[in-house]
Amino acid sequence: MKIVVMKFGGTSVEDAAAMRRTAEIVAGRRAKSLAPVVVVSAMAKVTDQLIAAAQAAERGDGAGALAISARLRHRHMETAAALVTGAPLQALIEWLEQQFHGLEDLLRGLAAVQELTPRTSDLVVSHGERLSSRIIADYFAQRGLDGAHVDARTCIITDAQHGRAVPLELETEQNLTRHVRPLLNQKKIPVMGGFIAATAEGITTTLGRGGSDFTGALVGRGLDASSIEIWTDVNGIMTTDPRLCADALRVKSISFEEAAELAYFGAKVLHPATILPAVQKNIPVWVLNSKNPDNGGTLIAAQAPHCRNPFKSIAVKRKLTIIDVVAGRMLMTHGYLRAIFEVFDRHKCPVDMVSTSEVSVSLTVDSNERLPQIAADLSKLAEVKYEGRKALICMVGENIRGQAGIAAQVFNAIRHVNVRMISQGASEINMSFMMEEGDVEEAVQSLHKHFFQDPDPTIFDVAARDAARHETVAKH
């Protein structure tokens, strides 16, 4: 049996029409004798709304929280009614009612105590994937696709770090074998929510924002899938975020290593942890567009064909803070850097970039609410300054290994921008630098223009860009 894990993101399941498209795509895979396992996100924007509801309740605004929940109830009921009919619809409506009662009780409780712990927050936001996956499974069943709903919390087992829980490989694999494999043997199509999981004790956890991609990869690894497909709202991994640069081109193939760097450094199209489980079992990952399913997408695999351009793609990570630790002559004294990193470790705060001079260490971290505490702890060691609203641009490509003169081209292309910190990762396939958030758009456009003006057609979808250009010319 050739298993294909198909993950559909929020926009791919945003309403009944999108769910119908999803079913068509899944049916197409089945027609090719593949055994699909479907992982879905919450319907678009639902996670944001659940977070807003929890926060309203925490402020004591019970009415505001319940109003959000009422809107969500309406949207899910309407979608269910557009897709399912008869007795299965009755059963589905009853189930949805129960879920919303549970959610409302939770929100009322939160509003009464006005306290929101990470554990309760996970429980509230988990509703998004719980609801979408059940509606889709029931719709698939009615449509003759043999959908079978699986509560992802019975399969994906994690530690108890709420909000960004870490999966436990062995337990997860055992549960997938126990709960999902038998359904595949019965020729059913298992449908589960991404992003949500549980501890071994059954407490609900989540894998971090955008975590449904990660679930897709975990399921792929656990079931030894032959491929993992990430269905989203763009044609694949592009040369940069198409929202930043209209000329972005689809990258036809990219290596695991390159994709992992891009995801880590902000390319939202993939959750940063997605690649590792695929690498461990050497499972190819495809990124595909659910609104344009016949487009070739991007293949992420162990190796990509040679590319004549130095870079494959440019990622951007915003909302970063630079922390400068200035320590006179102490810097190079034994144990000093360790003391600094211990502070970040204690606060479980990952550091993106580090650079040192004779007297100072500069580090960048995601802006977060623990920063004042981190700065207070660091100030016991040295003088500390921190500055938010920074962004990191990360240029990735295997072809920069050993090529001279690339850095000069990069900094020439953005010579008008004030660049703060520069680093070339040990992997030698990325070049990253920090700047003000406000400078990002212009910088990315200049870099894109310089490095992708003559794209290698074996790697980049040049034909699509040329076709789009012809269309624009024809219109004028």
Q: Which positions touch ligand ADP (CB under 6 A)?
A: 9-12, 41, 210, 232-234, 237-238, 240-243, 267-269, 313
Q: How far apart are CA 319 and CA 23, in angstroms?
A: 37
* Pick 125 or 378: Cβ nearer Mg ion: 125
**92: exposed, middle or buried (Cβ count in 10 Å: 0-12, 13-18, 19+):** buried
Question: Taking CB within 5 to 8 Å according to partner kind, which of ligand ADP, ligand ASP, Mg ion, none is near residue 238?
Answer: ligand ADP
Question: Taking CB within 5 to 8 Å according to partner kind, which of ligand ASP, Mg ion, ligand ADP, none is near residue 263?
Answer: none
Question: Taking CB within 5 to 8 Å according to partner kind, which of ligand ASP, Mg ion, ligand ADP, none is near residue 237?
Answer: ligand ADP
Question: Taking CB within 5 to 8 Å according to partner kind, which of ligand ADP, ligand ASP, Mg ion, none is near residue 220?
Answer: none
- Which residue has tokens 């068509």? 24
- Spatial contact of 121 and 163, defined as CB atoms under 8 Å apart: yes
| Among 36, 147, 211, 220, interactor with ligand ASP by CB under 6 A | 211
75 binds ligand ASP, rule: CB under 6 A = no
Establish how many alpha carbons lie within 13 A of residue 33's alpha carbon, considering only the half-sphere containing its beta carbon: 1
* Pick 34 or 44: Cβ nearer ligand ASP: 44
* Pick 199 or 253: Cβ nearer ligand ADP: 253
* Pick 267 or 378: Cβ nearer Mg ion: 267
232 binds ligand ASP, rule: CB under 6 A = no
Question: Taking CB within 5 to 8 Å according to partner kind, which of ligand ASP, ligand ADP, Mg ion, none is near residue 397?
Answer: none
Residues with Cβ within 8 Å of 141's Cβ and at least 6 positions away in sequence, in order, are 88, 147, 148
- Spatial contact of 455 and 462, defined as CB atoms under 8 Å apart: yes
* Pick 128 or 190: Cβ nearer ligand ADP: 128
| Among 11, 12, 22, 47, interactor with ligand ASP by CB under 6 A | 47
* Pick 263 or 304: Cβ nearer Mg ion: 263
Q: How many residues of this chain interact with ligand ASP, rule: CB under 6 A? A: 12
* Pick 125 or 323: Cβ nearer ligand ADP: 125
Q: Minimal distance in Å, beta carbon 47 to Mg ion? A: 10
* Pick 122 or 461: Cβ nearer ligand ASP: 122
Stretch that binds ligand ASP, among 86-94, 137-145, 197-205, 207-215 (CB under 6 A): 207-215
Q: Minimal distance in Å, beta carbon 230 to Mg ion? A: 8
At 276, give phi and psi (nearest 5°). Answer: -55, -50
| Among the listed residues 81, 107, 105, the one whose alpha carbon sits nearest the alpha carbon of residue 92 | 81
Q: Minimal distance in Å, beta carbon 9 to Mg ion? A: 5
* Pick 148 or 207: Cβ nearer ligand ASP: 207
216 binds ligand ASP, rule: CB under 6 A = no
Establish how many alpha carbons lie within 13 A of residue 420's alpha carbon, considering only the half-sphere containing its beta carbon: 24
At 355, give phi and psi (nearest 5°). Answer: -145, 145
Q: How far apart are CA 85 and CA 91, in angstroms?
A: 10
128 binds ligand ASP, rule: CB under 6 A = yes
Q: Is 457 helix (H, G, I), strand (E, B) or coil?
A: coil
- Spatial contact of 121 and 170, defined as CB atoms under 8 Å apart: no
List helix spans (H) across 32-126.
Answer: 46-58, 62-83, 86-113, 118-125
* Tokens at 347, concatenated: 């606060």
- Spatial contact of 23 and 246, defined as CB atoms under 8 Å apart: no
Q: Minimal distance in Å, beta carbon 241 to ligand ASP? A: 17
Q: How far apart are CA 79 and CA 111, in angstroms?
A: 29
* Pick 210 or 310: Cβ nearer ligand ADP: 210
313 binds ligand ASP, rule: CB under 6 A = no
* Pick 66 or 218: Cβ nearer ligand ADP: 218
Alpha-carbon distances, residue 273 vs 9, 25, 44, 359 (angstroms): 16, 25, 21, 35
- Spatial contact of 30 and 6, defined as CB atoms under 8 Å apart: no
209 binds ligand ASP, rule: CB under 6 A = yes
Q: Minimal distance in Å, beta carbon 314 to ligand ADP? A: 7
Residues with Cβ within 8 Å of 50's Cβ and at least 6 positions away in sequence, in order, are 42, 68, 72, 124, 125, 127, 128
Stretch that binds ligand ASP, among 151-159, 208-216, 218-226, 325-333 (CB under 6 A): 208-216
- Which residue has tokens 């497909």? 229
Question: Taking CB within 5 to 8 Å according to partner kind, which of ligand ADP, Mg ion, ligand ASP, none is near residue 209?
Answer: ligand ASP
Residues that bind Mg ion (CB under 5 A): 9, 210
Alpha-carbon distances, residue 335 vs 123, 257, 338, 341, 468 (angstroms): 42, 32, 5, 10, 57
Residues lying near ligand ASP in the complex (CB under 6 A): 9-10, 41-42, 47, 128, 194-195, 209-212
